[in-house]
Structure 1
Amino acid sequence: MSQLQTKFIQIHTELPGPIAKELLAKKETNVPRGPFNTSPTFVAKAEGAILTDVDGNTFIDFAGAIGTMNAGHRPEAVVAALKEQLDQYIHTCFNVMMYEPYVKLAEKLNEITPGTHAKKTFFLNSGAEAVENAIKIARKYTGRKAIISFERGYHGRTLLAMSLTSKVKPYKYQFGPFAPEIYKMNYPYYYRAPYAMTPGETDAEALRRFEDFFLGEVAPEEVAAIIMEPVQGEGGFVAPSKQFVQGVKAICEKHGILLIADEVQTGFGRTGKMFAMEHFDVVPDLVVMSKSIAAGLPISAVTGRAEIMDAPAPGEIGGTYSGSPLGCVAALAVIDMMEQDRLCERAQIIGEKILSRFQSFRDRFHQVGDARGLGAMCAIEIVKDKAGKEPDKELTGKIVQACNHRGLVVLSAGLYSNVIRVLSPLVITDEQLEEGLLVMESVLEELCTPNS
Structure 2
Amino acid sequence: MLPAIQTAIPGPLSQQLANRLREVECRNTTYLSADWPIFWEKAEGSNVWDADGNRFLDLTSAFGVAGLGHGFAQKALRDQSEMLLHAMGDVHPARLKVELCEKLSAATFERWTGKNGKVLLGNSGFEAVEAALKTATLATGKAEIITFENAYHGLGYGALLGAGIPWFRQPFDPQLAGITHRLPYPRKGNEGSIAHFQAALAAVDPSNIAAILVEPIQGRGGIVVPHDAFLEELRTWCDEHQVMLIFDEIYTGFHRTGCLFACERFGIVPDLICLGKALSGGFPISACVGKSEVMDAWPETHGEALHTSTFLGNPMGCAMSIASLDAHLSSQTAGLVAESTRNLDAALARLSSHPMVHEIRGAGLMKGIEFRYPDGRLAGDFVIQMVVQLLKDGLILLPDAPEGHVLALTPPFALSPEEIDFTVSRILAALPAAH
Give the letter aligned to residue 383 of structure 1: R
- Shift in Å at residue 28 of structure 1? 1.1
Q: Verify: 1:377 aligned to 2:361, yes or no.
A: no
Contact 1:59 1:408 in 2 (8 A): yes
Aligned-partner SS, 1:164: coil
Q: Which residue of 2 aligns with 1:27?
A: 21
- Shift in Å at residue 431 of structure 1? 2.1
Q: Which residue of 2 aligns with 1:208?
A: 199
Deviations 1:75-134 (A, max 9, x none): 1xx222112211211111211212211111111111111522331112000111110110
Q: Verify: 1:144 aligned to 2:142, yes or no.
A: yes
Matches within 5 A, 1:430-445: 430-444=417-431
Contact 1:159 1:179 in 2 (8 A): no
Q: Which residue of 2 aligns with 1:3?
A: none
How far apart in 2 are the matches of 1:206 and 1:359? 31
Contact 1:351 1:373 in 2 (8 A): no
Distance verdict in 2 for CA 1:157–1:93, change over 3 Å: same
Q: Which residue of 1 aligns with 2:285?
A: 299
Give the letter aligned to residue 263 of structure 1: E
Give the letter aligned to residue 384 of structure 1: Y
Matches within 5 A, 1:56-75: 56-75=53-72
Contact 1:262 1:288 in 2 (8 A): yes
- Shift in Å at residue 175 of structure 1? 2.7
- Shift in Å at residue 37 of structure 1? 4.4
Contact 2:94 2:313 in 1 (8 A): no
How far apart in 1 are the matches of 2:227 and 2:67? 24
RMSD: 1.7
Higher mean C-alpha deviation, range 56-65 or range 180-189: 180-189
Gaps of 5+ in 2: none
How far apart in 2 are the matches of 1:325 and 1:416? 40
Distance verdict in 2 for CA 1:430–1:37, change over 3 Å: farther
Q: Verify: 1:263 aligned to 2:263, yes or no.
A: no
Matches within 5 A, 1:190-269: 190=188, 199-212=190-203, 214=204, 219-269=205-255
Matches within 5 A, 1:323-342: 323-340=313-330, 342=332
Match of 1:94 among 84, 89, 92: 89
Q: Verify: 1:393 aligned to 2:402, yes or no.
A: no
Matches within 5 A, 1:148-167: 148-167=146-165
Deviations 1:44-71 (A, max 9, x none): 1100000011111100000111111111
Give the letter aligned to residue 172 of structure 1: R
Q: Which residue of 2 aligns with 1:186?
A: 184
How far apart in 2 are the matches of 1:318 and 1:84? 26
Give the letter aligned to residue 145 of structure 2: I
- Shift in Å at residue 341 of structure 1? 6.3
Distance verdict in 2 for CA 1:58–1:302, change over 3 Å: same
Aligned-partner SS, 2:182: strand
Distance verdict in 2 for CA 1:102–1:308, change over 3 Å: same
Contact 1:207 1:248 in 2 (8 A): no
Contact 1:343 1:427 in 2 (8 A): no
Percent identity of equivalent pairs = 30
Aligned residues: 424
Deviations 1:214-265 (A, max 9, x none): 2xxxx21210000110100000000013311111111111111110000000
Aligned-partner SS, 1:425: coil
Match of 2:337 among 324, 334, 347: 347
Matches within 5 A, 1:411-430: 411-430=398-417
Give the letter aligned to residue 358 of structure 2: G
- Shift in Å at residue 346 of structure 1? 2.1
Give the letter aligned to residue 57 of structure 2: I
Contact 1:351 1:377 in 2 (8 A): no
Deviations 1:251-301 (A, max 9, x none): 111111110000000001100111000000000000000001001100000
**What TM-score, normalized by structure 1, do the two folds share?**
0.90
Contact 1:242 1:279 in 2 (8 A): no
How far apart in 2 are the matches of 1:232 and 1:349? 23
Q: Verify: 1:106 aligned to 2:98, yes or no.
A: no
Aligned-partner SS, 2:173: coil
- Shift in Å at residue 381 of structure 1? 0.4
How far apart in 1 are the matches of 2:367 and 2:343? 10
Give the letter aligned to residue 333 of structure 1: A
How far apart in 2 are the matches of 1:399 and 1:249? 40
Deviations 1:115-163 (A, max 9, x none): 2233111200011111011000100110000011111110011112122
Give the letter aligned to residue 199 of structure 2: R
- Shift in Å at residue 183 of structure 1? 1.3
- Shift in Å at residue 173 of structure 1? 3.9
Q: Which residue of 2 aligns with 1:356?
A: 346
Contact 1:367 1:449 in 2 (8 A): no
Matches within 5 A, 1:311-330: 311-313=297-299, 314=301, 315-330=305-320
Q: Which residue of 2 aligns with 1:16?
A: 10
Q: Which residue of 2 aligns with 1:55?
A: 52
Aligned-partner SS, 2:56: strand
Distance verdict in 2 for CA 1:8–1:341, change over 3 Å: farther
Deviations 1:184-206 (A, max 9, x none): 1111135xxxxxxx634432431
How far apart in 1 are the matches of 2:132 and 2:48? 34
How far apart in 2 are the matches of 1:312 and 1:97? 20
How far apart in 2 are the matches of 1:164 and 1:139? 15
How far apart in 2 are the matches of 1:107 and 1:369? 44
Give the letter aligned to residue 419 of structure 1: V
Match of 1:46 among 31, 36, 43: 43
Aligned-partner SS, 1:128: helix
Distance verdict in 2 for CA 1:441–1:318, change over 3 Å: same
Contact 1:122 1:323 in 2 (8 A): no
Contact 1:127 1:156 in 2 (8 A): yes
Contact 1:148 1:225 in 2 (8 A): yes
- Shift in Å at residue 25 of structure 1? 1.4
